Structure 1
Amino acid sequence: MDTIRPAEEGDLADLVALYNHYVANTAITFDIEPCTVETRRPWFDQFAPSGRYRLLVLENDGGELVGYASSAPLKPKRAYETSVETTIYLAPSAGGGGRGTRLYGALLEALEAEDVHRAYGVIALPNAASVRLHEKLGFRPLMVLDEVGRKFGRYVSVQWFERAVG
């Protein structure tokens, strides 16, 4: 049975490996160069087991880390502090079967106990599976930023989604 839990220090290398798959092979993230444990450390260190900024991991029944979901500051200015940007990544082998729904749902449920007013998801397009997941979990589409990024020699648009929390 899969396990969802807060990330721990020992997860960082696996988190980097999972993320780097998407950096190297997709336009889902706009990072261009793969991360190292050292360069990903500031990202990892912003999370805590409680509070607004969380990092949950999904382990399969063999104990392998196969996904993560996080909530991070939307913007650095203090007036934005009750809004978070949420993210989810699953290993390619972990898709389907409701894992993304359970993992992302667990993150959103945890945020309901915190001083969080809105969650925002930003999806590189096209990504029908992520759009469906966000809509299933109560996010509503806001806007598309057309061709806002360039990766692999092509321009990529993103769509913002919003969900009330609490």
Structure 2
Amino acid sequence: MPPERAEVQVRPGAETDLDALTEIYNHYVRETPITFDTVPFTPEERRPWLLSHPEDGLYRLKVAVATDSQRILGYATSSAYRAKPAYATSVETTVYVAPDAGRRGIGTLLYASLFEALADEDLHRAYAGIAQPNEASARLHERFGFRYVGTYREVGRKFGRYWDVAWYEKDL
């Protein structure tokens, strides 16, 4: 069944998801400026990232799964914003959707589940950096209460050019 017709379940990420999550992420590494990673990862290289997102706590990993095929359609995470202790009540959030599953509400489902899971945590703010241009991501973040706070101009170089990153924040 095509992703637009499939029922979707959102659940915590698991180690068995590692290959599919790596495949989704590597699409964005290879084909887009959405992430500033420039070299695709192997699943083993991504394992520490996956293990840093347990089922509970501040740093979560939620995956969207087509219930008929069990295919992973995307994922959302909350991660440490910065390493210094005073940033402990801030997280950076992100969503990645399989390239053929976009524009079907998967990102919305993922963020709804992620923010519901974080509601009882000791968190103050969520931040999201969006490589420009990316109107779809800006709309998604604004729908969840993020507000634009500024742009880092030409902060990353990928594909032989510089990219801006717009920053958004949300009260938690």
TM-score range, shorter chain: over 0.9
Post-superposition Cα deviations, 1:12-42, rounded to whole Å, max 9, x if no partner, equal 1111011000000000000000011121122
1:17-96 pair list within 5 angstroms? 17-61=23-67, 62-96=69-103
Cα shift at 1:60: 1.3
Match of 2:13 among 7, 22, 32: 7
Deviation of the 1:66 alpha carbon? 0.9
Q: 1:93 deviation in Å?
A: 1.2
Structure 1 runs of 4+ with >6 Å offset: none
For the aligned residue pairs, the C-alpha RMSD in angstroms reads 0.8
Q: How many pairs align?
A: 165
Instruction: Give the Cα separation in 2 of the matches to 1:52 and 1:113.
Output: 10
Q: Would you say the 8 A contact 2:73–2:106 is kept in 1?
A: no
Question: After superposition, what is the alpha-carbon deviation per residue over 1:124-153, rounded to whole angstroms, capped at 9, x for unaligned?
Answer: 000000000000110000110001001000
How far off its partner does 1:87 sit?
Answer: 0.6
- Aligned residues of 2:73 and 2:97 also touching (Cα < 8 A): yes
Alpha-carbon distance in structure 2 between the residues aligned to 1:60 and 1:131: 25
Long gaps (5+) in structure 1: none
Q: Which runs of 5+ in 2 are unaligned?
A: 1-6
Which whole-Å CA distance do the structure 1 matches of 2:128 and 2:115 have between them?
12
Q: Indicate the residue corresponding to 2:122 in structure 1.
A: 115
Q: Partners of 1:148 and 1:8 in 2: how far apart?
A: 33
Counterpart-to-counterpart distance in 1, 2:50 and 2:15: 9
TM-score (norm 2): 0.94
Shift of 1:116: 1.0
Distance 2:143 2:26 in 1: 27
SS of 1:44's equivalent?
helix
Kindly state the Cα deviation for residue 97 of structure 1 after the two structures are TM-superposed. Answer: 2.6
